[in-house]
Amino acid sequence: MTSAIPVSFDFAQSGEKIKPMNAVNNGPAGSAVRKNAGNFATYAEAAFPFARTHDSAFYSGYGGEFTVDVHRIFRNFEADENAPASYSFRSTDTYLRNIHDAGTKTFYRLGAGIEHGEKYGTYPPKDYEKWARICEHIIRHYTEGWADGFHYDITYWEIWNEPDCHNGDGSNPCWQGDEMEFPNFFEVVLRHLKEKFPHLKIGGPAMASMWAEHSRKIYADILRRNLPADFYSYHWYGKTMQDFEATIYEAKRFFTEHGAADKETVLNEWNYIRGWAGEDWKYSLASEKGLKGSSFAASAMCVGQASPLDMLMYYDARPSGMNGLFDSTTLEPLKTYYTYLMFKDIAAHGTHVPSKQDHENGLYSCAATNGEESAVFLSYYKDDDEAPVQNVKIECNNIPHSGKIKVERYLLDGDHSKTLVAEEIFTAKDFALYLSLPIYSTVLIKISPIA
């Protein structure tokens, strides 16, 4: 093979831990009890580290209109927030139990799902302090056992979702009040919850954009208040890894400039979008559910791992049009699901090994090691369905063990779904693999010693 593009890894240069780049929005459909229904088993197998509970009420299998959202749990705002009888926890109890039983931690979004039609839950609360106290009791129910509740290890609690979101007609489907009033609401709720739960991570507000001028004004107002937030969150949808990476670094620059450099940053909604309307929207949905979506996801996880981002959460694992993990009808795994199985193997090795490569060629990779076994993850992505085959030279140096090593290569493409396609034996600590990759291919390489 000639003119191969080099992608190099020096396993002596390992550093930080693999970060939760493989988190998702929403949990399994079905439960451990009904083993022949839903996708509980395959969901659990992927070992998603976190599931964000946003738009959960849109799916009847999670509990529908009684699930997660504050106004769905506390249905009469005039009721006594201190009385257990004022709360309807049953559906959310079942949903969070299923997430917990699948081995995934809940990342709880306090607020309401997006409302494109009739508005109800996205109106600003009439009393910010009372709304904060309601959230306090929801947290106590799931972490301290209040009202016959639970003692789950739910660390992350996010206040609201996309207060800056705008539809094409200028309307806001997520916050019906004055946008510049939102920081006042956010401050009241955040300060109350941090006072009551200093050991938990409280943050938000899941901004729709880090680039729009009105979004920056809202976020700047929040940040100038020097709030005790533990994390700040935002969203991104697009079609190129260049834009994805630029957004992560712009967000970090923005937070640093406004005195929040030490805060965790969470990008907790993202997916492939070529356009939000017409044929571009149809193409986007089809791409998310196909091989292109799987390569896009693999590349994003690699970019996120090498960036200042702390957590990345795919939208969406809920049975829906934007779920590229599971078929919305049969709940059988789609191609992107196998990307997450591959990253699970990377995460299991623990310590990140950075790569040396040129992203201009559309190659995105990361690697990991536990000091004995190692793994490499690589995908070929461009927003170009006609991109030519790439010849790649994967250089692995200073493998952290001596003697014989087994190198297994797993492939995800149109004909393979994390399928073992090659196995070789090497005796040197440095070696190279030569691959020929069509567009949207993803490869996992496992490196292990032979006793």
Same domain for 380 and 346: no
Same domain for 400 and 343: no
Helix (H) or strand (E) holding 449: strand 442-449
Same domain for 399 and 293: no
Residue 93 forms part of a structural domain? yes
Ordered alpha helix ranges (H), 258-383: 278-288, 291-305, 335-349
20 HSE (CA, 13 A, CB side): 22
Same domain for 417 and 342: no
Ranges in the chain, pLDDT < 70: 1-2, 32-36
Residue 429 forms part of a structural domain? yes
Q: What is the pLDDT of residue 316?
A: 97
Q: What is the pLDDT of residue 451?
A: 74
Same domain for 359 and 314: no
122-129: long-range contacts (C-beta < 8 A, 24 or more apart)? 122/172, 122/173, 122/174, 122/175, 122/176, 123/176, 123/177, 124/175, 124/176, 124/177, 124/181, 124/182, 124/185, 125/77, 125/185, 126/77, 127/77, 128/184, 128/185, 128/188, 128/189, 129/188, 129/192
Q: What is the pLDDT of residue 326?
A: 98
Sign of CA dihedral 82, 88, 89, 95: negative
Domains held by the chain: number: 2
Q: Give, as one character, the DSSP assignment of residue 181.
A: G
Q: What is the pLDDT of residue 3?
A: 86
Same domain for 128 and 71: yes
Q: What is the pLDDT of residue 168?
A: 87
Residue 400 forms part of a structural domain? yes
Q: What is the pLDDT of residue 33?
A: 62
Q: What is the pLDDT of residue 356?
A: 84
- Choosing from 329, 351, 373, the residue where a domain stops is 351
Q: What is the pLDDT of residue 1?
A: 46
CATH of the domain at 276: 3.20.20.80
Same domain for 302 and 393: no
Q: What is the pLDDT of residues 258-292, one digit of tens each?
A: 999 999 999 999 999 999 999 999 999 999 999 99
Residue 14 forms part of a structural domain? no
What Cα–Cα distance (Å) separates residue 328 from each residue in 38, 44, 102, 321?
A: 10, 17, 19, 7
Same domain for 137 and 149: yes
> Which domain covers residue 237, as residue numbers?
19-351
- Choosing from 351, 376, 407, the residue where a domain stops is 351
Same domain for 28 and 160: yes
Q: What is the pLDDT of residues 3-25, one digit of tens each?
A: 899 999 999 987 889 999 999 99
- Choosing from 351, 373, 402, the residue where a domain stops is 351
Same domain for 373 and 230: no
Q: What is the pLDDT of residue 84?
A: 98
CATH of the domain at 362: 2.60.40.1500
Same domain for 317 and 405: no
Residues in contact with 183: Cβ distance below 8 Å, sequence separation at least 6, in sequence order: 218, 221, 222, 225
The whole-angstrom distance between residue 432's C-alpha and the CA centroid of its chain comes to 32
Same domain for 318 and 415: no
Q: Residue 56 and residue 66: Cα distance in Å, rounded? A: 10
